[in-house]
Each structure stands twice: as C-alpha cells, then as structure tokens.
Structure 1
C-alpha cells in the first residue's frame, strides 16, 4: 500500500509495472484500477483502496468477460472501417473505463483501466499510444495475465 491509499501489486513483472507507471503518469491520482486480460483470464495490476472496497462483493470476472467481447468487436470494426480501431471509452456516473488491445502475431492482450469521472478531459488517444509503447518495449508476452495459482 502506498501513502495515497492505493494497492499496487508488488509481484508483477517489469513490463506490467512499467504499464501501470505509464498509465499513472498519464492520469495521476485519478487512476482507479488497471487490469490485463486475454481470452480466458485476467489479472489485476493496480487497485486503488476505495475501489477494492467497492468491488469486494462484485463478480469482477463477469464484468471483465464483457470486456473480452472487444477481442471480437475490434476485429469487426477493423474489417468494416477504413481506419484502425484503437480504444473504447465508456462513461459511468462516478468513473470512466478505457480499454485497448495490444497484439503481435497471434498474441493479444487487453488492457482495461478505470479513472475517476471528475470532469477531467483524458487524452485516451495518447494513453493508447503509451500502452502500445510499453508493449513494444517489453513485448506482448510480458503483459499476458497470470491466473491465480499459476
């Protein structure tokens, strides 16, 4: 736990720590949570204490299963449009969700980020670039989620 009431996983690898750091640099103290996911599992990398308390009785896996649809819809959008699909942004009454995917060959990893909805104008395009820069530097394999017990 850090001094500002956040839970930072200390057991994540260098690439995942770099990912969280890049996202924190972009959104600051408004960062709520960071998750990585693939088609079958997910891993929390960062969870702010108040968010951890709020989701303690929520079926997070079910929620993230919905975000997995992005693996399919991303491909669909890329086939339908003349430009590449880069990220998803959803607004809720107290927080906002950002989701993007990084890929190389047949390997894909989703990155899901929660931020406070406090009137800030987040630059999600730049955040997408930051996530991709970490993936380019460390490789997609270093961001693959590790299931509990693995």
Structure 2
C-alpha cells in the first residue's frame, strides 16, 4: 500500500469505519480525505478518487509530518491557555483542513480531514465532538494508524 491508498471500507476495523461513516454523514460529498496518525506513522481511511488523482505527485508523508507538530503545539496551547485546545482549521484555495487529537493514557492519535472549500461554513466544533465521542466509545487505540506493512 502506498501512502495515499485508501483502505476498502470492509478492511477497516469497527472504530475506523465508524469514524469515516460519521464524517461522511456530517460532510456528505464534500469529504475529501480522512487520515489517522500517531508520532510515527499514518493511515489513509478515506480518499476520494478525484483527490487521489490530484495528490499522485504530492509527498503526502511530508504533509502529514507537518500535521504531527500538532502533538507538541496542542500541549503548548493547553499549558498557556485557560481552556483546552480542541482543533485546527486551515483554509486553502480549493479545500479546507480540519485536525483534532484524541488521547487516553499514553495513546495519542491525530485525525486529519480534508473538505471541499465552498460556502458551507462547516461546524468544526461539532466534528471535534464526533471524533472525541467515537474515541470514548471505541478507545483511542482503536483509531491508531496501522503501518502499511502491518496491515
């Protein structure tokens, strides 16, 4: 499996399939891609075909390595502010990125989601709640990425 291949829905375990289903329910056809990552690896859970074509020549691993900085910045924000840091939203000219982290004991997982840029005003707070609710239901470790050679 290359870095940007999508797992068939039947190959995903229950927690990851539930995550993709919940995001598809919330975002519909605007959902572009879903990735989970930890400090060392990442796993593509969903990748829309047109997006797969666009990122064929993109070093997705470098992009996701940049998202890993969130493990550190999240801790920094939580130490500096009186409220808990919940998610990151970045807008690009044709798409938007949403990222949140879930943790439990020593397990930490990042969830990175791409959506089409449009006039939709996505509710990233509600998406964060959805991801956190699924992590509470299934456990954070159930959302952890599986390295391609471990699949």
**Aligned positions, number:** 145
Displacement of 1:8? 4.8
Judge conservation of contact 1:38–1:109 (CA < 8 Å) in 2.
yes
| TM-score for the superposition, normalised by structure 1 | 0.94
1:50 aligned partner: 50
Off by >2 Å, runs of 4+ in structure 1:
6-10
Aligned to 1:40: 40
Q: CA deviation at 1:26?
A: 1.1
What are structure 2's unaligned runs of at least 5 residues?
A: 1-5
By how many angstroms is 1:106 displaced? 1.1
What does the per-residue CA deviation read over 1:78-103, in whole Å, with 9 as the maximum and x for residues that have no partner? 00000000000000000000000000
Q: Could you say which residue in structure 2 is the equivalent of 1:61?
A: 61
Q: Aligned pair 1:117/2:117, yes or no?
A: yes
Other-structure match for 1:100: 100
- Contact kept? 2:96, 2:117, Cα under 8 Å: yes
Distance apart, 1:47 and its partner CA: 0.3
Q: 2:123 and 2:11 mapped to 1: Cα distance?
A: 29
Deviation at 1:18, TM superposition (A): 0.1
Ranges in structure 1 where 5+ consecutive residues have no aligned partner: 1-5
Question: What's the offset of the Cα at 1:10?
Answer: 3.0
What's the TM-score once normalised by structure 2's chain length? 0.93
